[in-house]
Amino acid sequence: MTFALVATAPGTRARAGVLTTAHGAIETPVFMPVGTRGTVRTQTLDQLELLGAPMLLANTVHLMLRPGQASFERTGGLHGWMGWRGSILTDSGGFQVFSLEHARPLDDDGATLRSGPDGPLIRLTPEGSIAMQRAIGADVMMVLDECVPSTSELGRATAAMERTHRWARRCLAVRGDADQQLFAIVQGAQYPELRRQSALELASIDGFDGYAIGGLAVGESRAEREDLTELVTGLLPIDRPRYLMGVGTPLDLIEAVHRGVDMFDCVLPTAWAQQGQVFTSLGRVDLRRGVHRVADDPLDPACDCAACTRYGRSYLHHLIKCEEPLGWQLLAFHNLRFFVQLMRTARAEILAGTFAAFHARMREALALRDPRDPPGRKPRVKRPRPGAC
């Protein structure tokens, strides 16, 4: 299992690489659809294979709660159980400890969770998280970390960062001879000095195969997030992959690629599709708006997915207003395709040495809204709830 840096674009930190796992080679930068419980919501395996995403994200805590570690030990892991032939990355559960309603306060040993208001207690420790990820058979495992709001006061952010470092060492110690990659997670909330300390300390520990930037998109501004991302990537080893966890919109992804990030995941493509929010080459479209009720033109003339080639906006508007599952499925596939294709295009521009100009164009293009979106009050777009899949 290796990571090879192929190219860096002039005038930017954008990188093209190849991450090789037991389930294939992954060209970076790459977007990973989120399959929290072993499924990407509304999408079949045939659709995911058509999408061409080489890697999915699954969540350790959700799979620990159901079906449980014993199920994966019996079936031989998530790949065969769900029928997925590509690679899988598992989140360690740190964000779920932070976000789930039934989590208990942490201590130095780990965290206690309930599967629901009356569910059984489950103990999550660094050692238990790695054992669960090994049972899942993840190609890339994450260390257990403590995530806090990015706006946390300095003392709390410092304590969480230091606990994350201790847990990272414990995860590394029990990794054993597993042929699975293990990524450390940089924490430090909104404080540049903590982010610097975290990145340097984790990079000094021998044994990590890659590094993630965690604890962002949980309260800070976009400008703060971009500055912190740029700071951290400048301190991490050049020869290891860099993963920005849980971020974000297409514009967020392009800005992070520009700053040297290789890997991404986010629930927005599927979660916002349920609300009729669609990312297109013409700008973001809100299919709940009445202007689309009698609009029979394609959703995105530059896209060849089923939502754009077989149906008009009027029909898609109808599906969303009626809350028909078909609408969610069609728009989720379109959004996922938009994210995956955006990363492929970014890679091609990096290899061609033209990413800097591409980044300048996309900063404007990805900020657009649909040109026919009428002025006035717009329906509120709900951000996915923390821990949502």
Q: What is the pLDDT of residues 270-285, one digit of tens each?
A: 999 999 999 999 999 9
* Local structure of 133: helix, strand or coil: helix
Q: What is the pLDDT of residues 77-127, one digit of tens each?
A: 999 999 999 999 999 988 888 877 566 678 999 998 876 677 778 899 999
| CATH classification of the domain holding 125 | 3.20.20.105
CB-based burial label for 302 (10 Å; 0-12, 13-18, 19+): exposed
Prior bond of 29 cis (ω within 30°): yes
pLDDT exceeds cutoff 50 at 387: no
DSSP state letter for 34: B
pLDDT exceeds cutoff 50 at 14: yes
**Cβ pair 278, 270 in contact under 8 A:** no
Comparing 22-36, 57-71, 362-376, the range with the smallest average pLDDT is: 362-376
H or E element in which residue 354 lies: none
**Cβ pair 318, 351 in contact under 8 A:** no
Residues 173 and 224 placed together within one structural domain of the fold: yes
Residues 216 and 338 placed together within one structural domain of the fold: no
Q: What local confidence, expressed as pLDDT, does residue 389 receive?
A: 47
Instruction: Establish if 374 belongs to a structural domain.
Output: no
User: What is the CB neighbour count within 10 angstroms for residue 48?
Assistant: 20
Which of 236, 265, 294 lies at the terminal end of a domain, its last residue? 265
Residues 292 and 204 placed together within one structural domain of the fold: no
pLDDT exceeds cutoff 60 at 320: yes
Instruction: Establish if 356 belongs to a structural domain.
Output: yes
Residues 249 and 287 placed together within one structural domain of the fold: no
Instruction: Establish if 17 belongs to a structural domain.
Output: yes
**Cβ pair 3, 241 in contact under 8 A:** yes
> Is residue 24 left, alpha or beta, with left meaning phi > 0 and alpha meaning psi from -120 to 50?
left
Task: List CB contacts of 287: < 8 A, sequence separation 6 or more.
Answer: 276, 277, 278, 299, 313, 316, 317, 320, 331
Catalytic residue, chosen from 252, 265, 300, 370, is 265
Considering only CA atoms, which of 308, 387, 255, 306 is closest in space to residue 46? 306
Question: Over pLDDT 70: what percentage of the chain?
Answer: 95
Instruction: Establish if 247 belongs to a structural domain.
Output: yes
Which of 265, 290, 325 lies at the terminal end of a domain, its last residue? 265
Number of independent structural domains in the chain: 2
Q: Which residue in the block uniquely carries the two structure tokens 């290891």?
A: 240
Output the CA torsion sign for 75, 78, 82, 83: negative
DSSP state letter for 103: B
Q: Which domain holds residue 48?
A: 2-265
Buried-state track 120-159, b at ≥16 Cβ within 10 A, e below 16: eebebbbbbbbbbbbbbbbbbbbbbbbbbbbebeeeebbe
Residues 195 and 234 placed together within one structural domain of the fold: yes
Q: What local confidence, expressed as pLDDT, does residue 375 receive?
A: 67
Which of 222, 247, 265 lies at the terminal end of a domain, its last residue? 265
109 is catalytic: no
239 is catalytic: no
Considering only CA atoms, which of 149, 241, 217 is closest in space to residue 189? 149
Q: What local confidence, expressed as pLDDT, does residue 85 receive?
A: 97
CA torsion 385-61-115-86 (nearest 10°) is 80
Q: How far apart are CA 319 and CA 316, in angstroms?
A: 5
Q: What local confidence, expressed as pLDDT, does residue 79 receive?
A: 98
Q: Residue 280 is encoded by which pair of tokens?
A: 């297109």
Catalytic residue, chosen from 91, 209, 286, 370, is 91
pTM of the model: 0.95
**Cβ pair 355, 326 in contact under 8 A:** no
